[in-house]
Structure 1
Amino acid sequence: MNPGSRMPGAGSPSRRSVLRSAGALGVVVISAAAGAPLSTAAVGRTRVYVLVTDGCRPDEITAGLTPNLHALREGGTWYPNARSLPVMETIPNHVMMMTGVRPDRSGVPANAVHDRLEGVVRDLDRPTDLRFPTVLERLNAAGHRTGTVLSKAYLYGIFGTRATYRWEPSPLVPGTNHAPDAFTTDALISMVDSVDPDLVFTNLGDIDRVGHSDLTGSVSLDVARSAALGSTDQQVGRFVQHLKDTGRWESSVIVVLADHSMDWSVPTRVISLAPVVEADPLLAGNVVISQNGGADLLYWTGSEAGRADGVARLRQVVEAVPGVLSTHLPADLRLGPEAGDVVAYCKAGWRFSDPAVYSNPIPGNHGHPVTEPIPFFVGGGSRRIAIGQVRTEVARTVDVAPTVGALFGLRAPKGGYDGTSRL
C-alpha cells in the first residue's frame, strides 16, 4: 500500500490532482490538493525552503568539500552549537521541524516503536502517527501554499497529504528506499517552477545512506562519504543557482540543517540487550525491545503490578552491559508513551542490535548523544536574513517551525511552540 493512501478524509489522494512537468532527469509528477492554485506572482512575497541534509555532520561543511553549503552558511546566520535530540531518528526530527513541538506532544518518538495495541515492533510511517498540526497545514489554512519534496518513502508516508503539493520519491534505491539527491533536486526545481509554493520542505537523503556504511576501516568507503557530501553540495548549488536565474533569490530564505549526524562502530562493539534481559528471572518474557541503532526503546509487557520493580530492575541490568552509556525514563526526555518504559543510549563507537547480535549489521548509526551535533544555518537572498552572523545559542530541529512561522507572521499553535525562532 502506498503510505500516503492511508490518510482518510479531505485531502486524500482521491481528492488530489496530478501535475506533470519536465525535469532534467525526466518527467516529474507532483500531486496537488483539489483546487490548489498554480503559481501566482506577488509583490514582496517571501519564499522559504527548508533543506535537510540528512545525516550530515557539522564538521563536514567546509569550503573545500561542500563549497555551496559553506557559502550559504557564511552568507547567512549560523548556529555552530546546533543539536538534534537523542533517541530521535529521521522521522521524529523531521516531524519536530514541521510542528515545533517535542515528541510527547506530537506522538512520534522514534523511527520504530513497539505498538502496544498491535503487539509488534513497527515503523512509524503512517499519517495518523502524527497527531499535531504541522506548519504545512497551518500555512495552508492561512492562505499560503506549501510543498513537500521528501526523498525517503517513509517520510512521504508520515506527512501524507498535509502539504498543498507533494512529490512521491522516485526512483527508489533498492534496500534504502530513498530517491537519489539528483532526482530529489530535480523534483524540487520542477515544483518551484510549476507551482512556486511559499514553503517547500525537502529532504536530501544521499549523505545519510552512505553514512550507514562502514567508514571505520575502508579507504574506499571514506571516499564514498566524501563523494556523497560533494554530490549533495552540488545539488544544493544547482538549486541556489536556479533561484538566482529565475529571479527568486532576492525573495528566498533557505533554512539548512540536518536531522542528526552520524557515528560509526566496529563489529566488536555491538550491544544486544535481548539475551541479557531474557537471562534475568524477573525480566524474562516481560520485555520487548525496539532497536533504533544508537538507542534502544524497552517496553515492560508484564503485569501492571510488577511494572515499577520491573523497570527499576531493567535499568539496573541494562546499565551494567558494556557499551551502554545511560538509561532514562521517557518522560524525562520529553517523550510520550510510545517510547516505552526505558530508553537506553550507547556510547560513541558502539551500536545496538536487537533482538540478536546480527539484527543490525549497519556500522553507521545515530540516535545517541554523540550524534546530536548538526549543521544549522539560515541563508538566502532575502533582506530578512542577517548576513555573516554567528550565534552561540543552541538551535535545535524543533526551532524550524517557529522560524518558518515568524517569516510568514503565523501565530504559534495551541499550547505554544517548544522551539524558538532563529531569525
Structure 2
Amino acid sequence: MFPKISCALAAASLALAAFHAPFGQNYAYERPKGVEHVIVIGVDGLSPDGIKKAETPNIDRMVAGGAVKWNVRTVLTSASSQNWASMIMGAGPEQHGVINNDWELNKHTLPPIVQEADGRFPTIFSILHKAKPNAEIGTVYHWGGFGRLFQKDAVNYDKHFATEDSTAADFIQYIKKKKPVLGFVHFDHVDHAGHHDGHGSKAYYQSVTKADSLVGQILSAMKDAGIAEKTLVILWADHGGIGKGHGGATPQEAEIAGVFYGAGVKKGYSIQQQVYTYDLASTIAFVLGVEQPYAWIGRPVKPVFNGFDEPENLWPGEKP
C-alpha cells in the first residue's frame, strides 16, 4: 500500500513541478519532434508586399507547405542594426542597447542590461554554444554590419561576402559540408534595390525574385546534404519600406513576413498569435531544446508546430 502511495505522490509532484517550471526550463520535454537543424534565411528590406507581388515560386512553396505570419512587428525604429540585433538577441533595443546603425561594441550610449564576457547582449548563438558546445553554428552575411552583433567565439563559421551570389554560394557549401545545427544567412540586395529604386518599383520586385532563387538554391542544398527532412527553415526580414527609405512607424516599414517551413511545421497554416521580430531567437531556442535567458522578452511561436495550439488568451480580434 505504502509503495503505491509513494509512487502516486512522486508522479503528482513531478507533474506539478513541470506545470510550474520557470519559462523555458521544460523545453526539452515539449519541443517539437524531428527538428535537428535550423536554417534562417534573412533578407534585408524584404516586405510582405514584395513576396506577394513579385515572382517567388520557392517562397510561395514554403508558405503553402508551412506556416506564415504576414504582419510580424519589428522593433522601432524600423532600421537594420536594431532589428537584426533583436532577431538574434530575443529582446528589444531597450534591453540589448543596439538603438541605431551607429552602434559599435566600443561606442554606444545605452549599455545592455546583461552582457556576455565580450560586452554584447546574449544571442541565440552564444546560448546555444554554451548549452551545446559541440553544436555546429555558422553565419554567412552580405552586410558586414551584421558581423558586429554577435559573439565571435560562439560560432564555428563566420564569413562576409560582397554580393548576394557569393554569400549564397558559400552558405550552400557550408550546409553541404558541415550540416550545421544552426545556420544563419543574410542577404542585403533587396534593401539596396529599395533604397536605389524604391519599394514597389520594378527593380525592387526583381530583387525579391532574385532572393527567391537564392532561397531555392538553399533548399536544394539541404536535400543534397541529406538534412531536409530534419530541418526547420525560417524566412525573416528586418524591415519593409516606403519609397526609397524606411525607419518610420508605419505598417509598410515596421511589418515583415515570417515564414516557417520544414520539420515539424504545420502545412498551409496562418499564424494567429501576435509575433514580434525578437520572437525569432526564442523560437530557435525552443525547437533546439535550449533554455532562453531571463533577460530575453521573446516568446517561441509554438503554434506553427504540429501538436501545439494557439494561446487561449489571444485578443479576440486575433482568434481564427
Judge same fold: TM > 0.5, yes or no: yes
Q: Percent identity?
A: 26
Kept in 2: contact 1:259–1:374 (CA 8 A): yes
With structure 1 as the length reference, what TM-score do the two structures score? 0.57
Per the alignment, residue 79 of structure 2 pairs with 89
Kept in 1: contact 2:69–2:259 (CA 8 A): yes
Instruction: Could you tell me which runs of 5 or more consecutive residues in structure 2 were left unpaired when the two chains were aligned.
Output: 1-33, 110-115, 303-320
Pick one of 88, 99, 106 that aligns with 1:109.
99
| Cα shift at 1:169 | 1.6
Cα distance 1:114–1:62, how it changes in 2: closer, same or farther (>3 A)? closer
Per the alignment, residue 173 of structure 2 pairs with 190
Q: 1:153-192 alignment to 2 at 5 Å?
A: 153-170=144-161, 179-192=162-175
Higher relative contact order (CA 8 A, sep 6+): 2
Kept in 1: contact 2:47–2:240 (CA 8 A): yes
How far apart are the structure 1 equivalents of 2:37 and 2:104?
Answer: 39
Farther-moved stretch of structure 1 (370-379 vs 58-67): 58-67
Per the alignment, residue 70 of structure 2 pairs with 80
Equivalent residues, number: 260
Q: 1:21-60 alignment to 2 at 5 Å?
A: 46-60=36-50
Per the alignment, residue 259 of structure 2 pairs with 377
Cα distance 1:128–1:368, how it changes in 2: closer, same or farther (>3 A)? farther
How far apart are the structure 1 equivalents of 2:188 and 2:104?
Answer: 26
Per the alignment, residue 278 of structure 2 pairs with 398
How far apart are the structure 2 equivalents of 1:60 and 1:150?
Answer: 21
Kept in 2: contact 1:96–1:398 (CA 8 A): yes
With structure 2 as the length reference, what TM-score do the two structures score? 0.74
SS at match of 2:238: coil
Instruction: Could you tell me which runs of 5 or more consecutive residues in structure 1 were left unpaired when the two chains were aligned.
Output: 1-43, 120-126, 171-178, 265-363
Pick one of 132, 137, 162 that aligns with 2:121.
132
Letter in 1 for 2:269: Q
Kept in 1: contact 2:176–2:224 (CA 8 A): no
Per the alignment, residue 219 of structure 2 pairs with 240
Kept in 2: contact 1:89–1:366 (CA 8 A): yes
How far apart are the structure 2 equivalents of 1:413 and 1:142?
Answer: 12
| Cα shift at 1:385 | 0.9
Question: When you count strand as a share of all residues, which structure comes out higher?
Answer: 1
| 1:153-186 deviation line (CA, Å, top 9, x unaligned) | 111233251442233322xxxxxxxx22211111
Cα distance 1:78–1:114, how it changes in 2: closer, same or farther (>3 A)? closer
RMSD across aligned positions (CA): 2.7
SS at match of 1:386: coil
Kept in 2: contact 1:136–1:162 (CA 8 A): no
Kept in 1: contact 2:172–2:217 (CA 8 A): no
Pick one of 69, 76, 84 that aligns with 2:59.
69
Question: When you count helix as a share of all residues, which structure comes out higher?
Answer: 2
| 1:73-106 deviation line (CA, Å, top 9, x unaligned) | 2211111221112214212111111110111221
Kept in 2: contact 1:148–1:163 (CA 8 A): no
Cα distance 1:113–1:196, how it changes in 2: closer, same or farther (>3 A)? closer
How far apart are the structure 2 equivalents of 1:115 and 1:156?
Answer: 11
Say which one has the larger Rg. 1
How far apart are the structure 1 equivalents of 2:255 and 2:215?
Answer: 21
How far apart are the structure 2 equivalents of 1:100 and 1:91?
Answer: 14
